[in-house]
A = this chain, B = another copy of it.
């Protein structure tokens, strides 16, 4: 079955394609009666303009590009869902790309989206992104760009983030408040800004409480379960046993959690644990894990809303804005 085109309608009505086009877009030049006839036939044949042809004219599609490190990751899956939700209601579809935390692939994806003439891009950068030329060329091309969670600091674009530093500060301050003294931090990749800030919040909390920061209690690693597991493992092997752990995110917390259980230590009595993100999993383990609620779905939604705004107000070259969403310390059984 072929798609009905504007020319098909024109032929059937004995008028020109341009008149049909104008009638459908309610152009004042067109006679009301003609408009009615056109609309009736269009409905009858379920005519929908070919978006490709429109895109060719506008040199722009109605597709929003989304780049995330990993689709599978709870946080991103949820954020994508939020983006899709907003895009759907605004009449856009979303193309989803994953960088797999790989810089080259992020560049390739970005360029592919530019080539595809997406209307805008929502992105969260990979942990290995140390150069932002690809995002700068997005800006240069006049394509609206919004970061969420992990932003590129040296790119002038809007972002939806949380206050990582403050959130971390609050969590660690809470740990100190309930009596923990030897608090370790399982940090993420040093290059990732959000990780730096979480580390900074951790340090600040210790400083404020006049607790000396011990380098051996700060373990750097990745963002996955195995990283938390390994960090805990190496501490145990070095016989350094903290009385609490502030993990850079929930998977890392879970990894540490498992290794602690294997070691026969009790949570929260021997070791307290705080995660970050409020992944579903933290409510399902025993004990449940104290964590910081990071509104992933809302972050996706908000980022998409800003992007749609930028796309549809091309004229108002608004300055990039930064939206900081609230987090919340959720106290559970692990502390």
Residue positions of A touching B, CB distance < 8 A: 1, 48, 50-53, 55-56, 59, 61, 63, 70-72, 74, 77-78, 80-81, 84, 88, 93-98, 105, 112-113, 115-117, 137, 140-141, 254, 258, 261, 280-281, 284-286
Q: Are A72 and B77 in contact (CB under 8 A)?
A: yes
* Residue on B nearest A1 in the bound complex, by CB: B140
- 11 A-B pairs with CB atoms under 8 Å apart are A50-B115, A51-B116, A51-B117, A52-B56, A77-B77, A88-B97, A93-B95, A95-B96, A96-B96, A261-B286, A281-B281
Assess the B284–A258 pair: CB atoms within 8 A: yes
Most B CB contacts (10 A, CB to CB) among A52, A72, A96 go to A52
B residues in contact with A112, CB < 8 Å: 93
| Shortest Cβ distance from residue A226 to the other chain B in the assembled complex, whole angstroms | 12
B52 touches A141 (CB 8 A): no
Residue contact B53 to A95, C-beta cutoff 8 Å: no
Q: What's the Cα separation between A115 and B284 when bound, in Å?
A: 42
Report the minimum CB–CB distance from A197 to chain B (whole Å). Answer: 26
Q: Across the interface, which residues of B come within 8 angstroms of A1, CB to CB?
A: 137, 140-141
Determine the chain B residues whose CB is within 8 A of the CB of A117 once the complex forms.
50-52
A285 to B98, CA, bound (A): 29
Q: Report whether A115 and B48 are in contact in the complex, using a CB–CB cutoff of 8 Å.
A: yes
> A84 contacts which of B98, B280, B284 (Cβ < 8 Å)?
B98
Nearest CB of B to A245, in Å: 17
The CA-CA distance from A59 to B70 in the complex, in Å, is: 32
Could you say which residues of chain B place their CB within 8 Å of the CB of A97?
84, 88, 93
Residue of B nearest to A296 (CB): B72
A318 to B56 Cα, complex, angstroms: 33
Whether the pair A96, B80 counts as a contact (CB closer than 8 A) is: yes
A280 CB → nearest B CB, Å:
7
Residues of B within 8 A of A254 (CB): 284
**Which residue in chain B gives the minimum CB-CB distance to A61?**
B52
A331 to chain B, nearest CB (A): 19
Give bound CA distance, A14 to B75, whole Å.
53
* Chain B residues whose C-beta falls within 8 Å of the C-beta of A59 in the assembled complex: 52
Q: How far is the CA of A165 from the CA of B258 in the complex (A)?
A: 34
Query: B96 to A84, Cβ gap below 8 A?
Result: yes
Interface pairs A-B: 6 shortest CB-CB = A77-B77, A71-B81, A96-B96, A52-B55, A52-B56, A72-B81
Residue of B nearest to A255 (CB): B284
Residues of B within 8 A of A70 (CB): 81
CA distance A285 to B257 in the complex (A): 11
Establish whether residues A94 and B93, one from each chain, have CB atoms under 8 Å apart when the complex forms.
no
B-chain residues with CB within 8 Å of residue A94 when the two chains form the complex: 95-96
User: Which residues from B are CB-within-8-Å of A61?
Assistant: 52
- Report Cα–Cα, A327/B112, bound state, in Å: 36
